A and B are shown apart, each in its own frame.
Chain A
């Protein structure tokens, strides 16, 4: 192993900064086949995530109970709710679109897997959001969800009845996890490029790539 291969900094630089051109990261052209409405849902999912973070940050300004007694707070809670509803609609359409495009072709398996992980991490993040509504819905979800987590031994560590734990998970750890996975997913898309159309030649999908 050469000295540069042993050097962590050099290896990190090669696997990140040197793995793609500036044009890959911030492109001003796309392959000509990228011409379908299905491509819109990826960026809409990302836009919804940005709206979720923005509206969530507004809600953090006054605390989890603010929206019960304030019309302004209630509006921002509604914005947060509808952003998450849109986020999942767009994400599911994006996922199905990528399935029918067999978007894992061309050594893009990691892109698919990070997308699935982002989907699952988003579901857990959304659940903690429902747990911190501090209303009847959150009380009921907490008492029901605990049985599922307890049955798998998870409930001993993630107590859905502990609102404080759910708040901290929802506003700090889980959004950070989702953000990291999403950034990783996007970088993989930018590095590998948008998967080209499925060719008629079946040998091209037979595992050669």
Chain B
């Protein structure tokens, strides 16, 4: 006969000896040994960080095209919206414009921050005068120059500069070539990271610029199976386990309608928020709270108790 048990009452039935401190100490030792063994055997991955210099040295054409895109306002950063600029309203969730409502709290003007201001810091007359010419022009003129140059660069595979035979690019070719020289020297990394403070811990600007690259940063990530469509949210460089606990988060990016949605981040974040809330509320959901009774895995867990072999 099974004894009825009221789970809300303090247990007054049979007990067994137990040493909570001893158990805790043994557990820490076991986990410590396990972690040490895994560390000695498998170590941990450390793919070196990339820089604007390594980008410019490895794929100068992509660097030149991206820099031109920053001036033309066609890169991801240039058209991002909050929290960096007012270029777009950003993704929405129905009537909720969460990204836009949060405001521009980390202001970044890509053309100015990534290209013009660093050029003005260069000890090079061509670089500074081309940047000054750019600043003196109207926004419409700037856009015409940069768009024309971006189109011309895009037509020549691997080009880092194009001769201005029709006099339609203005100072843009000089600006982009000068920025490429600056990046190859490593000076651009320093210029972007120290633009707000001489002792930086904030890498927003160089990372936004790197992330605008279409032929370098993303390619490196794809080779390390870190792309969004490669379950990259939960992957790690090399063959090490990454954030495997994010598997469900990563799953949604692999399937429709999220996969092809331009609003995937909002949808996935919202869905995961709701699922987390559901997990917390399992005890009060009528059906879910009964699943442990319908699928009696607890019979395995407490088999000794049910068999009264204790």
Contacts and interface: CB of A to CB of B under 8 A. Distances in A.
B15 interface: yes
Q: Main SS of chain A's interface residues?
A: helix
A29 B304 contact: no
A32 B34 contact: no
Given A29-B16, A32-B310, A144-B233, A44 B50 contact: no
Interface string B257-270: 00000010110111
A139 B32 contact: no
B253 to A, nearest CB: 10
Contact of A152 (B99, B203, B283, B298): B99
A30 B18 contact: yes
A199 B31 contact: no
Interface string B13-52: 1111111110110011011101110111011111111100
Contacts of B44: 74, 77-78, 81-82
A127 B15 CA distance: 42
Interface in B210-246: 210-211, 217, 220-221, 224, 226, 228, 232-233, 236-237, 240-246
Contact of B283 (A78, A112, A138, A193): A112
Interface stretch (A2-10, A11-19, A96-104, A176-184): A96-104
Given A130-B243, A144-B233, A156-B106, A136 B4 contact: no
Q: Which among A26, A113, A137, A163 has the greatest number of chain B C-beta atoms within 10 A? A: A137
Contacts of A100: 292, 295, 297-298, 301
15 contacts: A32-B13, A32-B16, A33-B305, A36-B304, A46-B24, A47-B31, A86-B35, A101-B301, A107-B8, A138-B49, A151-B269, A163-B202, A197-B302, A198-B302, A204-B5
Contacts of A79: 35-36, 39
Given A88-B245, A197-B298, A142 B31 contact: no
Q: How large is the interface on A (under 10, 10 to 19, 20 to 34, 35 or more residues)?
A: 35 or more
B105 A157 contact: yes
Interface residues of B, number: 105
Contacts of A202: 293
A203 to B, nearest CB: 9
Contacts of A153: 82, 98-99, 101-102
Contacts of A75: 39-40, 43
B4 A164 contact: no
B43 A78 contact: yes
A101 B236 CA distance: 34
B91 interface: yes
Contacts of B15: 29-32
A106 B6 contact: yes
A119 B46 CA distance: 26
A126 interface: yes
A138 B226 CA distance: 11
A140 B23 CA distance: 40
Given A144-B226, A197-B306, A204-B5, 6 more contacts: A26-B20, A36-B304, A74-B44, A102-B298, A161-B203, A162-B204
Contact of A164 (B23, B90, B202, B291): B202
A157 B105 CA distance: 8
Nearest to A29: B15
Contacts of A106: 6-9
A155 B10 CA distance: 46
A38 interface: yes
B39 A82 contact: yes
Interface of B: 2-11, 13-21, 23-24, 27-28, 30-32, 34-36, 38-40, 42-50, 82-83, 90-91, 98-99, 101-106, 201-204, 207-208, 210-211, 217, 220-221, 224, 226, 228, 232-233, 236-237, 240-246, 263, 265-266, 268-270, 276, 279-280, 282-284, 289-293, 295-298, 301-302, 304-306, 310
Contact of A136 (B50, B99, B245, B263): B50
A161 B207 contact: yes
Contact of B298 (A31, A155, A198): A198
Contacts of A142: 203, 207
A167 interface: yes
A34 B10 contact: no
A104 B18 contact: no
A123 B201 contact: no
A161 B7 contact: no
Nearest to B240: A81
Contacts of B28: 47, 50-51
Interface string A140-158: 1011100110111111110
Q: Which among A74, A108, A133, A147 has the greatest number of chain B C-beta atoms within 10 A? A: A147
A156 B105 contact: yes
B302 A105 contact: no
